[in-house]
Amino acid sequence: MKKTLLLTENFPPKEGGSGRWFWELYSRLPKDEVFIIANDTDEGRLFDKTHTLNIHRISLSCPEWGVASIDGLKFYWSTIRRVLQLIKENKIEEVHCGRVIPEGVIARAIKLLAGKEYRCFVHGEDVETAATSREHSLLVKNVCKNASMLICNSENSLNLVTQLDFDNGDKCEVLHPGVDAERFKVAPSNEAFRKKLGWSGKRVLLTVGRLQRRKGQDFLVEIMPELLKQFPDLFYAIVGRGECKEELVSMIEQNDLQNNVAVYSDMGDEELIQCYQQCDIFILPNRTINNDIEGFGMVLVEAQVCGKPVIAGDSGGTRETMSIGKTGQIIDCSAPNAMLKDLKVILGNEIIVDGSVDIAEYARARFNWDEHVIKATMLFEK
């Protein structure tokens, strides 16, 4: 494997599936061959004291990802200069980009200036979001056209890339995120934990993810009063942080749902895993908003490895995380009424899948990190 630079704003401790994916993957590669540039934050510097990866933090946050503005040009120029310096100091041979924009744009410039080849991860939502801007669309197409490889996190993301209509579609590869089956695993019922969270005697639906409209927590909270008429023991547990927290808390209070819906924004990693283990059903009611999609849905895999059946919205790459009917169900989450109709049918069954396969075994076999690292290494050497 060539000495590789991973360039990514999304990296722990920043929350999110792609950052967790990069951590799990690159921490399993030969340490001497991997150098990481991630976003510089106080939390990041504290996190770096807990591991031994070769990581350097610089400012990778910018509200303007285009190059047609002064702010965008300043961001790219200063970042490219710093990255070039670190590439030279660390004898980097190849660059891996966490996203098409802005990391891919930086890598494209570095290829022009220093001749370094780059591979780019594609998550689906970054391509779809860029489609809302002509300038961003042109940047995405240029970055993808000149990359040596595009690593898509799902078949859905691959399809989005091929729609860009450039001549090098054969450079695209699919690499699903994996899951740490040593940490995420089936556990016996823990009534003390359930009682602490107010789950005793409840049928718990759990969502883990950023509190944003695309994740769909708002629609599910909206229909909870109707669901409770048919399923009075239902409890909706929402774990995450994000821009929609105040709105969700307000919806809960306005609809007097405090005994049946709760938002948890201060969960540690071990408590988060216990939430997966102790819930009854995991749900990601995601929907597409202004071309913003769920590229894959790692949380669905994590829940299945903990033995839980899953429900997801029919948007993005969520279908690829499960065996539909056997380990999970896909529903229409595009509108509250559509979600309500589908959930009434599914939740009307005590067991929402057919029971023909062991959910945890299915997920472990398909998404274990050992095999993913082998495939990733083969792709990186290709």
Same domain, 95 and 122: yes
- pLDDT, tens digit, 9 for 90 and up, residues 12-40: 999 888 898 999 999 999 999 999 999 99
Q: Tell me whether residue 210 is in a domain.
A: yes
For residue 133, tell me if it sits in a domain: yes
Mean pLDDT, the chain, whole residue set: 93
Residues 226 and 344 in one domain: yes
The mean pLDDT of 53-60, rounded to a whole number, is: 96
Domain identity same for 125 and 208: no
Q: Distance (Å, rounded) from C-alpha 285 to C-alpha 377?
A: 33
Whether residue 99 sits in one domain with residue 50: yes
In a domain, 213, yes or no: yes
Same domain, yes or no, for 295 and 238? yes
Please tell me which residue, 36 or 130, carries the higher pLDDT value.
Answer: 36
Residues 78 and 198 in one domain: no
Please tell me the distance from the alpha carbon of residue 215 to that of residue 170, in angstroms, as a whole number. Answer: 32
Across 293-306, average pLDDT: 92
> What band does 319 get if pLDDT is binned at 50, 70 and 90?
very high
Could you read off the pLDDT of 169-221 as tens digits, one per residue? 678 999 998 898 899 999 999 999 999 999 999 999 999 999 999 999 999 99
Structural domains counted in the chain: 2
| Residues 299 and 245 both lie in one domain | yes
pLDDT at site 169:
64
Residues 138 and 202 in one domain: no
Tens digits of residue pLDDT in 331-359 = 999 999 999 999 999 999 988 999 999 99
Give the per-residue pLDDT at 129: 65
Do 124 and 208 fall within a single domain?
no
Its domain, for residue 306, covers 191-365
Q: What is the mean pLDDT of residues 99-121?
A: 96
Tokens read off for 123 = 């998550």
Q: Is residue 23 part of a domain?
A: yes
Residues with Cβ within 8 Å of residue 212, at least 6 apart in sequence: 242, 243, 244
Q: Is 171 found in the same domain as 61?
A: yes
Residue 84 belongs to domain with CATH number? 3.40.50.2000
Residues 205 and 106 in one domain: no
- Whether 183 maps to a domain, the answer reads no
Q: Are residues 106 and 238 in the same domain?
A: no
Specify the pLDDT at position 131: 67
Maximum C-alpha span of the chain: 64
